[in-house]
Structures are given as structure tokens and as C-alpha cells.
């Protein structure tokens, strides 16, 4: 399943459960890539990368 299909399933589920809609695929890509570049350069991760890592490692509520 690709990202668009998953996004459509997630928006449908959010609408049915009255939850906030998820961000569209690619919404935060630039910020995450910028944070990854800074991390690789020896600077601490902030913002987008930290948020993305939290989302990946947090168990989903599904």
C-alpha cells in the first residue's frame, strides 16, 4: 500500500471517529530532511526530525 492509500484510509477513519485529520503526505518532508542534515553534521535534532521519530516509535492507536 502506498502513502496516498494510507492517507485516504486515515482520513476516512478520522472523519468517522471525529478525530483531527492527518497531515497530507509530504507536508513535513523538507523540515525532516533539514533536521536530518543538521543531525548528520553533529548538531542536535530539533522540530521535524524529533517529531517524526516520535511518531515512528510510538505505538499506534489502531
pLDDT for res 2: 83
Q: Does residue 61 surpass a pLDDT of 80?
A: no
Cα dihedral value 38, 40, 43, 49, nearest 10: 60
Q: Rounded to whole angstroms, how far apart are CA atoms 55 and 26?
A: 15
pLDDT for res 57: 65
pLDDT for res 58: 67
pLDDT for res 17: 95
**Packing angle between helix 29-40 and helix 48-57, nearest 10 degrees?**
100
7-59 per-position pLDDT tens digit = 899 999 999 999 999 888 888 888 888 887 777 777 666 666 667 767 766 65
pTM of the model: 0.46
Amino acid at each position: 500500500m502506498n502513502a496516498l492509500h494510507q492517507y485516504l484510509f486515515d482520513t476516512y477513519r478520522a472523519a468517522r471517529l471525529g478525530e483531527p485529520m492527518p497531515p497530507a503526505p509530504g507536508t513535513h518532508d523538507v523540515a525532516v530532511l533539514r533536521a536530518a542534515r543538521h543531525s548528520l553534521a553533529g548538531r542536535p535534532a530539533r522540530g521535524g526530525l524529533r517529531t517524526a521519530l516520535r511518531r515512528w516509535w510510538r505505538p499506534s492507536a489502531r
